[in-house]
Amino acid sequence: GQNIDQPTEMTATEGAIVQINCTYQTSGFNGLFWYQQHAGEAPTFLSYNVLDGLEEKGRFSSFLSRSKGYSYLLLKELQMKDSASYLCAVLDSNYQLIWGAGTKLIIKP
Amino acid sequence: DAGITQSPRYKITETGRQVTLMCHQTWSHSYMFWYRQDLGHGLRLIYYSAAADITDKGEVPDGYVVSRSKTENFPLTLESATRSQTSVYFCASSEGRAGGYEQYFGPGTRLTVT
């Protein structure tokens, strides 16, 4: 079966750095997405990785290792508005997105 | 307004009733998707459409029907609602499926079946 694993919940302090991990086992791989979802709102796109390595986009970076079936999202200089759920999703061999259950990130002042 | 919209935003219905959730996008995206989101689960694909008059099943299609007569609209119908269909439903659209095409999500419809 196909499986995406993420921690259910994480807590971090305003101004700090947090790393949210995602491991996957899917039938094929055509890329990995990270989305942000604030409570009661729609998911919004953060990043896409298809090659190994780190992609940096402002305060957010995303890393991929295809050989390890592993990705992480790194958030720097945390702000209160970063409190949200972060969803990892893998595009499988049929170009269907397989979603993790999401990681709820709580930011404390 | 530009973007992707869903209606209604909230709906309460009774078991056995038929209910239709609407989705409209203004980008002329080829692909449209319907997901349901439940606590403890990732987004689960119900149906998707590659173009007008082309639809296909996703992971959890049972109990749902879709149509796409126009590119911009993709309604989802629950033919006979059950309590297990209580969920938040998201519609999404994208330019493509292969590669890094992101999906744009509507605001969601919170459906309660009593």
Name every residue whose Cβ is closer than 8 Å to that of residue A70 and which is 6 or more positions away in sequence.
Answer: A21, A22, A23, A24, A64
Any A CB within 8 A of B90 CB: yes
Categorize the per-residue pLDDT at B1 as very low, low, confident or very high, splitting at 50, 70 and 90.
low
Q: How far is CA A32 from the centre of its chain?
A: 9
Residues of B in contact with A31 (CB under 8 A): 99-100
Q: Which residue of B has its CA nearest to A49?
A: B100
Question: pLDDT tens, B14-62?
Answer: 999 999 999 999 999 999 999 999 988 889 999 999 999 999 999 999 9
Give CA–CA dist A84/A82, Å, rounded. Answer: 6
Question: pLDDT tens, B14-23?
Answer: 999 999 999 9
Summary mean pLDDT of chain B? 95
User: Which strand (E) or helix (H) includes residue B76?
Assistant: strand B76-78
B53/chain A closest Cα distance in angstroms = 19
B99/chain A closest Cα distance in angstroms = 7
Q: State whether B105 and A89 contact (CB < 8 Å).
A: no
Question: pLDDT tens, B54-102?
Answer: 999 999 999 999 999 999 999 999 999 999 999 999 999 999 988 789 9
* Residue in B6, B35, B37, B104 to test binding to A, most A beta-carbons within 10 Å: B37
Any B CB within 8 A of A4 CB: yes
A8/chain B closest Cα distance in angstroms = 9
Asked if residues A28 and A92 have their Cβ atoms less than 8 Å apart, the reply is yes
Name every residue whose Cβ is closer than 8 Å to that of residue B87 and which is 6 or more positions away in sequence.
Answer: B36, B37, B38, B111
Asked if residues A86 and A36 have their Cβ atoms less than 8 Å apart, the reply is yes
Per-residue pLDDT of chain A (109 residues; tens, 9 = 90+): 789 999 999 999 999 999 999 999 999 999 999 999 999 999 999 999 999 999 999 999 999 999 999 999 999 999 999 999 999 999 999 999 999 999 999 999 9
